[in-house]
Structure 1
Amino acid sequence: SLEGEIRAFLTDEDQLHTYEDLTKVNPVTPTTVLKCLQARYSLKVFYTHAGCTLVALNPFQPIPDLYTLDVMKEYHYAPQPQEFKPHIFIVAEQAYRNIQGHVEPVNQSLVVSGESGAGKTWTSRCLMKYYATVAGSSSVLKIQDKVERIERRVLDSNPIMEAFGFLSKPSCNVMD
């Protein structure tokens, strides 16, 4: 029975944190998925794949080693970044490679969604910083200033993008 499978799955709590992709959880139920995410969160693992979707949990504290320039470079220069542990930079790099890897660039979109306080702004800023960094990585040091100016402009545009998104939400009464 499904209940028996869920009980059997949840009895092995020491293994719950090892699921880097929630599609590997068996059986996939709200209970098993939440237990896996809780186990990973308790070990300070904040990213988990769910197929081609990335689930990001807000740590509600600074985790400086998770978003360094070295980490960005590691994902950017990796032959197979999808073999790394789940991270927002895997998603960013895959979209970047999809644009760069074709004679005709292929448009890409990343959707960052969640409840208030879920970390959407932080995640969006990480994505923008990643793109500003890797776009300048093949350039010589002399144009580093130009890259920093572009990065600053992109990051400064975030409040405008947030306001635009906020005003267009059907649940928002600002337009009424």
Structure 2
Amino acid sequence: MSVKDGEGGAPSQDGRAYDLQVYPRLSADCPSCCTLKVPKEATAASVIQDAALALGLDPQRLYVLAEVKECGGEEWVLESGDLPVQRVLLWPRKAQEQHPQSEGFYFLLQERNRDGTIHYVHLPALWKEQEAQKLAARGFLPPRHDDFDDLCNLPALNESSILDNLRNRFHKKKIYTYAGSILIAINPFKFLSIYNPKYVKMYENHQLGKLEPHIFAIADVAYYAMLRKRVNQCIVISGESGSGKTQSTNFLIHCLTALSQKGYASGVERTILGAGPVLEVRLFVFV
């Protein structure tokens, strides 16, 4: 993939168009490269669409664009909203202006399977478990999942897939699942040993989604956002009767108290916990 001023195509906000060379890895009879003129603000999704049109590919199939930097052993699949031109502008000058694949900086167009994995026609032995794990660790091959800890990552997002995913996780005693920044909790109606102080420490000051979904992660994000931004934070707990709202409230208070006082219980905590069942707290604002 190379970048230079284009004479045609869609202009960027800076008045420039860029020539992008995309190398497909799809089949033996597919052209080795296609050149597109795109603005700087072009997303990976639009580049994929234009490349598929230019190459005459089946529009019903799914494709991904991967950035390859061989010098660092990096191969990364771009998200649909990523900007390929801006990535190229971070490459070495020689790679920006003119480079074949032998230069080690380029983009690949690959086919995505319906389950989210990538179909590699050039690596017939890829699905050996060890090789697949290596590529997944490098970010090029999406890891195979029996379940997803964030519903937004489901390959197909519909009521059936959501319920199946929640059911699979529940059977594995994973009662928490993210939907973006929202935490979904399924009441197990029994005690699980995932609320002791070591879990408070584990989730302390971590970005949401980096670790397995947990109610302590929500409390931690709210607590540190309050300290960082000096703005009141709000946690809303909602659900049907018997879904576990009161118990979730107790877990939140325990976690927030541990974070603020480094594990020492206080009279304030005991007062709030004692009043919770009476008041049926649904909304907390922490100052």
> Could you say which TM-score interval applies, normalised by the shorter chain?
0.7 to 0.9
The structure that has the greater radius of gyration is 2
- Tell me what 1:85 maps to: 212
Mapped to 2, the partners of 1:107 and 1:80 lie a distance apart of 19
Contact persistence 1:133–1:151 (CA under 8 A): no
Q: Is the 8 A contact 1:16 1:35 kept in 2?
A: no
**TM-score normalized by structure 2?**
0.46
**Conserved? CA contact 2:206–2:221, under 8 Å:** no
Whole-Å Cα distance in 2 between the matches of residues 25 and 117 of structure 1? 28
CA deviation string 1:65-108 (max 9, x = no partner)? 210011112212x4546411000011110000111113xx2111
Say whether the 8 Å CA contact 1:46–1:58 is kept in structure 2.
Answer: yes
Partner of residue 45, structure 1: 174
Q: Percent identity?
A: 31
Q: In angstroms, what is the RMSD of aligned CA positions?
A: 2.0
The structure 2 residue matched to 1:118, chosen from 239, 243, 251, is 243
Bigger RCO (CA 8 Å, 6+ sep)? 1
- Count of residues in Structure 1 that have an aligned counterpart in Structure 2: 141
Tell me what 2:185 maps to: 56
In structure 1, what is the Cα distance between the partners aligned to 2:157 and 2:179?
11
Higher helix share: 1
What are the ranges of 5 or more consecutive residues in structure 2 without an aligned counterpart?
A: 1-113, 116-143, 283-287
Structure 2 CA distance for partners of 1:49 and 1:127, relative to 1, 3 Å? same
Aligned-partner Cα distance in 1 for 2:275–2:170: 31
Q: CA deviation at 1:26?
A: 2.2
CA distance 1:128–1:42, shift in 2 (3 Å): same
Tell me which moved more, 119-128 or 150-159: 150-159
Q: What SS does the corresponding residue of 1:115 show, helix, strand or coil?
A: coil
Aligned partner (choices 158, 161, 168) of residue 29 of structure 1: 158
* Secondary structure, counterpart of 2:183 in structure 1: strand
Aligned residue in 1 for 2:260: 135
Higher strand share: 2
Deviating runs (4+, > 6 A) in structure 1?
A: none
2:200 to 59, 72, 83: 72
